[in-house]
Each structure stands twice: as C-alpha cells, then as structure tokens.
Structure 1
Amino acid sequence: MTMVNPSPWRAWCFLVWLSFQRQARAHMMIWIALGLLALSLLIVFINTQGERWSMARWSFPRGKGVTYAQHVDHVAFAGSLPFPDPAAAVSAMAHAGYYAAIHQGTGFFLFSNLIVFSLFTTFLLPLWTTSFATEGLGREREAQNLLWVLTRPIPRPAIFMAKYVALLPWCLAMNLGGFAFLCLAGGSPGRLALEIYWPGVFWGTLAFSALFHLMAACARRAAIVALLYAFFLETILGNMPGQFKRLSLSFYTRCLMFDRAHEWGVHPERPVWYDPVSGTTAWLVLAAVTIACLVIGAVLFTRNEYLDVN
C-alpha cells in the first residue's frame, strides 16, 4: 500500500475547488443580481430599438422648437437649392458634419453617461459583486461550516486567500459578463463602450471583491453590511461634490474609464465639480485597495476567534 505524503499545496487547491463549487449554488443574492441584469437589459433593449442613443430627438430649448434631426434635414434641404458649385460643396460638407455629429457621434456619449457611469458603475457593479464576494466566508458562518474549514491543516491566511481565489471568477463572470450583455444590447455605441471600458470593470471588480471579502471576515452578516455600503457610500457619497467621493471605489473606477474614453470626447459633465484623478492614479488606488484589503483581511481572519460557529 502506497502512502501519499500530505501536501499543503494540494490541500489548498482542493479548498479552492471546493469553495468554487459551493459558490455555484444559487442563493437569494444571485437571483436578485440576475433580476437586476434582466431589468437592465430590458431597459437598454427598449432604448436601442427606439433609436434613443443619439441626440437626434433633442431640441433646444428642451421641449420647444425643432429637433436636432429636423435641423439636419433643413440643412440637407438647403443643399438642394441651385447654389454655385463652391457653395453647394460647402452645404454638402455642413450636412455631412451635422449628420455625423447628431446621429452617430452622440450615441457613445449618451450610452456612456446613462448606462455605464450612472447605472452600471455606481449601482450594478458593487451590488453584483456583493452577490458572490460576501459568500466566501459568510456562507460558511451562516451554515455553521466554518469550524470544519478552520480545522483543516492549512494556515488561516491561506484559507482566506483560497476563499478569495474561489469567489473571484464568479465576480468577474457576473460583472464582465453582465456588462458585456448590456453593451451588446446597446448596439454600436454599446460595442464601443465594451471595448473601451472593460479594463475599468475588471479592476473595479478586483477592488470591490477584496473589500467585501474583508467585510465577510469581520462581520457575521456581511451581506447586509456590504449592501449598506453599496447603497449609501457608493451611490450617494460617490456622487457628492468635494473630496468625500474619493472614499468611493466607484469614483476611481469611473476615473479610469474617463481616462480611456478621453480620445472620444467623454469626460465628466462638470470637470471642476467632479475633479477626476488621472487614469494612472485611479489604477494605482484600485490595485492598492485590493492588496490592502487582502492583507488586512488575512491578518484579521487569523487573529479573530469565531465563537459563533459550532
């Protein structure tokens, strides 16, 4: 009979695989996240079918006068008049420029502002991450299985990291996959948004996952704490003027997205009020928060005595 020497590495990998499988079991938070995804897809699909990702139906003043699309038609009509050749060429160039700006150039701007920045980054990204990130340790505590995990011959910091490695693919799949579905449902502006903004979604997911995993190591009802954080700190404080919004991870995620979309003319509506940081600074902050949350979480998970387990 051949004896196999115990391997801490194999034990750690098995814990990662076991935790990964446990994450696949649907629970209430996942159903809520999927429901929000379905509702968001419906909203984006309706706007896409209604051709609302442009300023063609806008008017100035709002609600009065001709729309921008009608103004473009007026320019085209003026170009059909018997102008001399140079004047006709100028009229054709003006019509082409107006048409490209109104019908084609504004779609990406509107989709970015309404869906990516206002809906996804501020609300859906932290909420979807909560669905999985708090379950790595939170489910073990609620199911009274944490004692079994703690008695394994694996150091506690390694257990904490194994849980994070196991939940991270699910968080990335939910956030990147959900973001991709929303962008693809948005037509050509959405496809461009997916190409430009996905790195911001990736780094934002890493930071939010590490933060909520830290909460799971500190609080018994980590999902409730994470939801309160997502609703109040990210949604409210992240949109406040001044320096308070710099306590929000979604602020740095949006700054990273603004930096990547700068060439397409996308920027905060009021840059002086919003006061964004550079893309490099935003990336460094998100990476530093991820590492800091994992280190602090591993230390706290090692020192805490979980007396609420049987």
Structure 2
Amino acid sequence: METGQPLGRAGGVTPRMPAESGGLAPPAHLVTLSGMRAWCYLVWLSWQRQARASQMVWIAVGLLAFAAALAAIFTAKGAWSMRSWRWPYRQGPTFLQWADAMQIVMSVPDASAGGQGVQAALAAAVRGVVEYSGFAIFSHWGVFLLFLSFLLPLFNLSFATEALGGERESNCLIWLLSRPLPRWAIYLGKFVALLPWTLGLSLGGFGLLCLAGGRPGRLAFELYWPAVLAATLAFSSLFYLLGAWFRRPAVAAIVYAFFLEVILGNMPGYLKRISIGFYTRCMMFDAASAFGIHPERPDVFLPVEGTTALAVLLGLTLGFLGIGVVLFSRAQYQEMV
C-alpha cells in the first residue's frame, strides 16, 4: 500500500472527492424531482388502497340505494307535490281541482269584472304554490333532513376515517413513516388521495337522490350542489383529522356527526355556528331564496349570507388540515398489538 493515503474504517483506501462536485450528493433539482415522484406514488398508492371499500362504505352505499328507491317511490306517487292535497279534514276538491274550477268560473260571461279579478288572483296563487310545492317539500325532507343530516356525514366518515385509521389498525403506518418523505407531505398526500372518493360518493350520491326525486330533485341539485361540495371538503378534513388523532377514529366521528352535529346544529342562538351543517344550510337557503326556501324561524336560526358561509367552510377545511399536519408531525405512533 502506498503511503500518504488515508485509510477507511475497514483498512481500505478512502477515495478522494472532487472539490467542485460537492461529493457524491445529487443535484438539488434531482432531489426535488425524486421527492415529487415519491409523493405522487404515495397519492396513487393511497388512492388504490381506498378502493378496497370497508364495511362502513358498503353500509353507506346500501343506505344511499334505499334512500334513492324511497325517493323514486314518492316521485311515482306524486308525494313531492301539493297537487293531490285537499283542504282541512280531507273534504272537498284538491288544490289543483279548485284552481281549475276557478278558471271555469272565470269563463262565465255574466260574472262581474271585480269577481273575475279576485278569482284570477286566487287561482294564480294556488297554481304558483302547487307548482313549486314539490321543490319545497323535497328540500325539507329529502335534502335537509335525510341527506344533509344523515347521508352526507356518513359518506365522508366512511372514507376519511379509514385513510389514516385503517393504516394504524393494519400496522402499516409505521412502515409509511419510515419512507423518505416528510410527515406533512405524507399527511397531505393521503388527503389528496381521499378527496376523489369522498367527493364522488357525496356529489354522486346527492345527484342520484335528486334524480330519483324527479323535477323537484333536479332543481334541488342545480341549486344545492355547491353547498354539498363545500360541506364535503369540511367534513372530509375534520374526519381525516380525527383519524390522525384517535386510534379508533370511526367511533369519534360517529359521535360527532350524529350527536354533537345534530344537537349543536339545532340549538337556538349563536352556538350552532360551530356546526358544519349550519353553514351548509345557510348556503342552501341563500341559493333557493328566490323559490321561497327560508328557515322556519329566521329569528331563531339566525342565518348568515351564502358567501360568508362558503368562506367559513373553506376556512374550516384549511384550518383542520393545518391542525392535522401539526398533530401528525409531532405524534408518536406505535404498532397496535
């Protein structure tokens, strides 16, 4: 061995590095490109794992099919409209028959001009109420009570809680954290992979329910889909945060969605403003105000404007993501026995 050459730990010769190349470290742009490819692969892999529907997802899909079938039956029977409604105690003609009778009376030649004017106004008012009654009834029962209060939270928690909660239960999260990616990138990557499923199930399920609702349902989808989109983002980020926080996130999400959300969303005063459903309903009320869709008691509900509600929902989405990134970056996860 030649003298004057440094020895390595194993007695070998340590190779000399060129001074200008900075050693064997790759260029910065190659490191960035490699990290981006790893992040995209994580998103793709997480999206594929979400395709393995859990039991909660199948329950949500089954309830959606049942709700759509029920809405289709109501549509076939004309239950979304007041056309077949009668006066109190179910006596006399229906509302629509009464309006037609007013038209016949108006055609009598010797009827007074003043009487014809009153009859025409009454007939037009009744026909207007009957025409848009289907939309009001479908909005109340199909959208506000069934979809917004029950199906929408269920759709989101069925996927969002499994994004990280499923990794923890299968003991894959420790392996995932050992990959050469920062934790914030892992957290955001899995959330991006989650969105196509939650948005597809929420908007697609809402569209299917509205399609089964006939003409009132189609009008409801046209007016309400932006509110459903904003609520899906907020619910997904919240339930995804619960997956990073709790070891059994599905239980915490169910407690929030079907107890706290319902209780807080129906309390008088300003306490309901910490509820996601409150701002979603405000967006819907604002979009359908031209069709007479308003809170039953505005002095108790205290709605906000639609633009304000949208800003709050988007702000909640970003806030939940920020809290989740900080929590996920600092938490110590261990394998579940």
TM-score range, shorter-chain basis? over 0.9
Residue among 194, 197, 206 paired with 1:179: 206
Residues 157-195 of structure 1, C-alpha deviations (whole Å, 9 max, x = no match): 110001100001100000000000111111111111111
Structure 2 residue runs of 5 or longer lacking an equivalent are 1-25
Equivalent pair of 2:132/2:291 in contact (CA under 8 Å): no
Equivalent pair of 1:200/1:256 in contact (CA under 8 Å): yes
Residue among 99, 122, 132 paired with 1:72: 99
Matches within 5 A, 1:44-193: 44-61=71-88, 63=90, 66-83=93-110, 86=113, 90=117, 93-94=120-121, 97-98=124-125, 100-193=127-220
Equivalent pair of 1:145/1:309 in contact (CA under 8 Å): no
Aligned residue for 2:181, secondary structure, equals: coil
Return 209-218 or 255-264, whichever deviates more.
255-264
Partners of 2:300 and 2:84 lie apart in 1 by: 28
Residues 261-306 of structure 1, C-alpha deviations (whole Å, 9 max, x = no match): 1122211111111111111221111011100100000000010001
Partners of 1:292 and 1:161 lie apart in 2 by: 13
Matches within 5 A, 1:1-310: 7-61=34-88, 63=90, 66-83=93-110, 86=113, 90=117, 93-94=120-121, 97-98=124-125, 100-309=127-336
Structure 1 residue runs of 5 or longer lacking an equivalent are none
Partners of 1:57 and 1:260 lie apart in 2 by: 28
Residues 239-275 of structure 1, C-alpha deviations (whole Å, 9 max, x = no match): 2222222121011011011111112221111111111
Aligned-pair CA distance for 1:87: 6.4
Partners of 2:123 and 2:42 lie apart in 1 by: 61
Q: TM-score, normalised by structure 1?
A: 0.92
Equivalent pair of 2:102/2:120 in contact (CA under 8 Å): no
Aligned residue for 1:25, secondary structure, equals: coil
Partners of 1:290 and 1:181 lie apart in 2 by: 25
Return 119-128 or 234-243, whichever deviates more.
234-243
Aligned residue for 2:98, secondary structure, equals: helix
Structure 1 residue ranges, 4+ long, deviating more than 6 angstroms after superposition: none
Equivalent pair of 2:174/2:334 in contact (CA under 8 Å): no
For the pair shown, which has the larger CA radius of gyration, 1 or 2? Answer: 2
Instruction: Let me know the Cα RMSD of the aligned residues.
Output: 2.2
Partners of 1:179 and 1:300 lie apart in 2 by: 32
Partners of 1:64 and 1:249 lie apart in 2 by: 43
Partners of 1:277 and 1:289 lie apart in 2 by: 16
Residue 64 and residue 99 in structure 1: after superposition, are their counterparts in 2 closer, same or farther (change >3 A)?
A: closer
Partners of 1:20 and 1:186 lie apart in 2 by: 32
Return 106-115 or 18-27, whichever deviates more.
106-115
Residue 21 and residue 238 in structure 1: after superposition, are their counterparts in 2 closer, same or farther (change >3 A)?
A: same
